[in-house]
Chains A and B, each alone.
Chain A
């Protein structure tokens, strides 16, 4: 029953976005989806820079959140001193409830100056050879947006991962210990594989949040309509583009924004579906690997 309602809602979303987006496709073809020139004053609407910006910020956020989130979750579930676990877990859950605009404002007023004066110069001197850190140190930009997103999705990642890690059956853990496995071996061969499905769920949720985050990103990314040549450069994402231009948009631009929203919706559903397929395949082979361990 509830599932039916959600299915109807999902279809309603797609239909609503698609109806508004159709004029954009009929006027501009589909090429605007990979055009790189966004210039509303001259009716050029290439959304590629924003699509790329969305992917780049999400990748930065998730690449940082997965190892750090997983490590923190393991610590909270198994490694930290027992009396610290509860207060630390509560703190993480509270962080997960902080509204995103607060992260954005904090990023803009507190983290951006720190990035400009300290983080970016240091990073450039260490990793400048990669060619990814060209341009002036200005604080806001792709890197800051990715890092703020990482801090935003981390609590989600940690809270869910800790729960699924703690739910791994105790007899399996004790069984492995009884066989003489070290603590590290138990974590690597029993607990993490046993919680794989749930960990993937945490990963999907974190990715989804990073993909769709709007206000916080719009505040710290520098909002440029160009492909970012460096991690320190200004960029833009599809949600930040929509939130910043929707109010004053009319005509074709409005249709293009709906098309961009449709793309985002499809990507979001796609990520979710991919994760599901992955989870299913892992479930099948995963059962075997746990018995081996």
Chain B
């Protein structure tokens, strides 16, 4: 019985949780009970209630104990995060607040799990995240209806300029890293299709229209490719996944850059089928033989999709994975909201189609108390030992360490209403 033991030690320090042992024992009739408890209550019920109360108090004590002197806490407590990072330990002590955010659907799985975990460690803070789409998230953020926005593409300078003057500027923090896979349905070729940049651009531009085109067969010696027309599938809804994929095509192909270009929604050839969402694209690929489309990495991994290995700058064929996308991102240590593209990086292990998602917050918070909780949550979210620990289990790529540092540096710039006091503290 660990809990009463702990409680007892603290009872001696004058905290109001004494006599837990005696209260738990059902024989004690006259213990002070919660005000509304009717006298006729059965003994067992009361005992359960008191026990619950005692457990809750003891739990709180445990947490308090853990943060004041980490060595005293037991293995069940919440101090795995603190370690050597004083900010992370402080993050979990953020004051009570109900925070709201809105935006990207891409980050929703990570946010949902991370914020749930955070609330379980600091029950005073709840975060309500609405996955309404990046564009709607930016609108909500600029309208001041949410504490933070989330967008798969950083806000453009023109949009930043439209933010309310009271924000004192907009800070953009990378919060999640993801990749885009090329999934295909090619009867007879279950795995191992290899593609390079010009071929991918050709397929999606419609200039390579058959599976046995010399451009594809040259890359796949020994694979018998059918003489069938290629059906390409794209996202019909505008999305960060499309942005990352077209950012890649735009970087590797001058004809693509001069044509469709890059964006969250671009003009695809008339022959390309549009489907809504990762699930829509995946469904279309699954039900259409000889098709190929782009699907976000986490979705492809969770649904065990077949995907192509892509030739990177170093000339090696790399399959998309948490490690290969992380390797690509690590190649570019200095991203910013104006220079954020990480597609097609060097390095033999880099998978070249990847990108960050961003959280948007006001530089000057209108309430110091809420702002403090907000930066604490976001700092926790963007670090190993905090929210980034949730990413891998959901098949999202944890942020490289240099990006975690960048996130903290950015969050340290957030101030209270006075415009000078930083809100993120150790």
**A residues engaging B (CB < 8 A)?**
37-42, 108-109, 112-113, 116, 135-136, 138-140, 218-219, 222-226, 228-229, 233-234, 236, 240, 244-251, 254
Q: Does B85 contact A (CB under 8 A)?
A: no
| Complexed CA–CA distance, A38 and B267 (Å) | 7
| Complexed CA–CA distance, A271 and B60 (Å) | 66
Q: Does B389 contact A (CB under 8 A)?
A: no
Closest to A227 in B: B270
**Residues in A whose Cβ lies below 8 Å from that of B275:** 219, 223
**Residues in A whose Cβ lies below 8 Å from that of B159:** 250-251
Q: Does B273 contact A (CB under 8 A)?
A: yes
Inter-chain contact A245/B266, CB cutoff 8 Å:
no
| Complexed CA–CA distance, A136 and B240 (Å) | 30
Inter-chain contact A233/B236, CB cutoff 8 Å:
no
Q: Does B4 contact A (CB under 8 A)?
A: no
**Residues in B whose Cβ lies below 8 Å from that of A42:** 261
**Residues in B whose Cβ lies below 8 Å from that of A233:** 270-271
15 A-B pairs besides A109-B283, A223-B273 with CB distance below 8 A are A39-B260, A40-B238, A136-B271, A138-B231, A138-B288, A139-B287, A140-B273, A222-B273, A224-B273, A234-B270, A236-B274, A244-B237, A244-B238, A247-B135, A250-B159
| Complexed CA–CA distance, A139 and B288 (Å) | 9
Query: Known interface pairs A108-B283, A245-B237, A247-B135. Does A136 touch B231 (Cβ–Cβ under 8 Å)?
Result: yes
Task: Looking at the assembled complex, report how far the CB atom of A87 sits from the nearest CB atom of chain B, in whole angstroms.
Answer: 34
Query: Known interface pairs A247-B132, A247-B238, A248-B136. Does A41 touch B261 (Cβ–Cβ under 8 Å)?
Result: yes
Query: Known interface pairs A40-B266, A245-B237, A245-B265. Does A135 touch B271 (Cβ–Cβ under 8 Å)?
Result: yes
Task: Looking at the assembled complex, report how far the CB atom of A260 sits from the nearest CB atom of chain B, in whole angstroms.
Answer: 14
| Complexed CA–CA distance, A112 and B267 (Å) | 24
| Complexed CA–CA distance, A240 and B239 (Å) | 15
Inter-chain contact B236/A218, CB cutoff 8 Å:
yes
Inter-chain contact B229/A248, CB cutoff 8 Å:
no
**B residues engaging A (CB < 8 A)?**
105, 132-136, 138-139, 158-159, 229, 231, 236-240, 246, 260-268, 270-276, 280, 283-284, 287-288
| Complexed CA–CA distance, A244 and B105 (Å) | 14
Sample of 21 A–B contacts (CB below 8 Å): A39-B260, A40-B238, A41-B262, A41-B265, A135-B271, A136-B231, A138-B273, A139-B288, A140-B273, A218-B236, A219-B280, A225-B268, A234-B273, A244-B237, A244-B238, A246-B136, A247-B132, A247-B134, A250-B135, A250-B139, A250-B159
| Complexed CA–CA distance, A42 and B256 (Å) | 13
**Residues in A whose Cβ lies below 8 Å from that of B105:** 247
Query: Known interface pairs A138-B288, A140-B273. Does A248 touch B133 (Cβ–Cβ under 8 Å)?
Result: yes
Task: Looking at the assembled complex, report how far the CB atom of A4 sits from the nearest CB atom of chain B, in whole angstroms.
Answer: 32
Closest to A49 in B: B270
Inter-chain contact B237/A248, CB cutoff 8 Å:
yes
**Residues in A whose Cβ lies below 8 Å from that of B264:** 40, 248
Closest to A109 in B: B287
Task: Looking at the assembled complex, report how far the CB atom of A2 sits from the nearest CB atom of chain B, in whole angstroms.
Answer: 33
**Residues in B whose Cβ lies below 8 Å from that of A249:** 135, 238
8 A-B pairs with the lowest CB-CB distances in the bound complex, closest first: A247-B133, A223-B274, A41-B263, A223-B236, A248-B238, A226-B270, A248-B135, A39-B267
- Residue of A42, A109, A247, A251 with highest tally of chain B CB at under 10 A: A247
Q: Pick the contact of B274: A113, A136, A224 (CB < 8 A).
A: A224
**Residues in B whose Cβ lies below 8 Å from that of A246:** 133, 135-136
**Residues in A whose Cβ lies below 8 Å from that of B229:** 136
| Complexed CA–CA distance, A248 and B135 (Å) | 4
| Complexed CA–CA distance, A87 and B198 (Å) | 61
Inter-chain contact B274/A40, CB cutoff 8 Å:
no
| Complexed CA–CA distance, A116 and B185 (Å) | 16
| Complexed CA–CA distance, A146 and B323 (Å) | 46
Closest to B228 in A: A136
**Residues in B whose Cβ lies below 8 Å from that of A39:** 260, 266-267
**Residues in B whose Cβ lies below 8 Å from that of A247:** 105, 132-136, 237-238
| Complexed CA–CA distance, A249 and B283 (Å) | 24
**Residues in A whose Cβ lies below 8 Å from that of B263:** 40-41
- Residue of B158, B239, B271, B280 with highest tally of chain A CB at under 10 A: B271
| Complexed CA–CA distance, A246 and B263 (Å) | 15
**Residues in A whose Cβ lies below 8 Å from that of B236:** 218, 223, 240, 244
Inter-chain contact B270/A229, CB cutoff 8 Å:
yes
Closest to B231 in A: A138
| Complexed CA–CA distance, A251 and B153 (Å) | 15
Query: Known interface pairs A247-B237, A248-B136, A251-B159. Does A225 touch B287 (Cβ–Cβ under 8 Å)?
Result: no
Closest to B236 in A: A223
Closest to B265 in A: A40
- Residue of A39, A112, A248 with highest tally of chain B CB at under 10 A: A248
Inter-chain contact B271/A234, CB cutoff 8 Å:
yes
| Complexed CA–CA distance, A80 and B46 (Å) | 70
| Complexed CA–CA distance, A120 and B271 (Å) | 16
Query: Known interface pairs A41-B263, A248-B264. Does A218 touch B276 (Cβ–Cβ under 8 Å)?
Result: yes
Closest to A37 in B: B267
**Residues in A whose Cβ lies below 8 Å from that of B280:** 219
Q: Pick the contact of A234: B133, B136, B158, B274 (CB < 8 A).
A: B274
Task: Looking at the assembled complex, report how far the CB atom of B170 sits from the nearest CB atom of chain A, in whole angstroms.
Answer: 14
Inter-chain contact B276/A219, CB cutoff 8 Å:
yes
Inter-chain contact B267/A245, CB cutoff 8 Å:
no
Inter-chain contact A41/B260, CB cutoff 8 Å:
yes
Task: Looking at the assembled complex, report how far the CB atom of B319 sits from the nearest CB atom of chain A, in whole angstroms.
Answer: 28
Q: Pick the contact of A250: B138, B272, B283 (CB < 8 A).
A: B138
- Residue of B105, B236, B268, B273 with highest tally of chain A CB at under 10 A: B236
- Residue of A138, A225, A244 with highest tally of chain B CB at under 10 A: A244
Query: Known interface pairs A250-B159, A251-B158. Does A41 touch B266 (Cβ–Cβ under 8 Å)?
Result: yes
| Complexed CA–CA distance, A24 and B239 (Å) | 22
**Residues in B whose Cβ lies below 8 Å from that of A224:** 268, 270, 272-274
Task: Looking at the assembled complex, report how far the CB atom of B331 sits from the nearest CB atom of chain A, in whole angstroms.
Answer: 26
Closest to A40 in B: B265
Task: Looking at the assembled complex, report how far the CB atom of A253 sits from the nearest CB atom of chain B, in whole angstroms.
Answer: 8
Inter-chain contact B238/A234, CB cutoff 8 Å:
no
Task: Looking at the assembled complex, report how far the CB atom of B279 sits from the nearest CB atom of chain A, in whole angstroms.
Answer: 11
**Residues in B whose Cβ lies below 8 Å from that of A240:** 236
**Residues in A whose Cβ lies below 8 Å from that of B237:** 244-245, 247-248
**Residues in A whose Cβ lies below 8 Å from that of B284:** 140
Task: Looking at the assembled complex, report how far the CB atom of A249 sits from the nearest CB atom of chain B, in whole angstroms.
Answer: 5
| Complexed CA–CA distance, A226 and B271 (Å) | 9
| Complexed CA–CA distance, A116 and B268 (Å) | 22
**Residues in B whose Cβ lies below 8 Å from that of A41:** 246, 260-263, 265-267
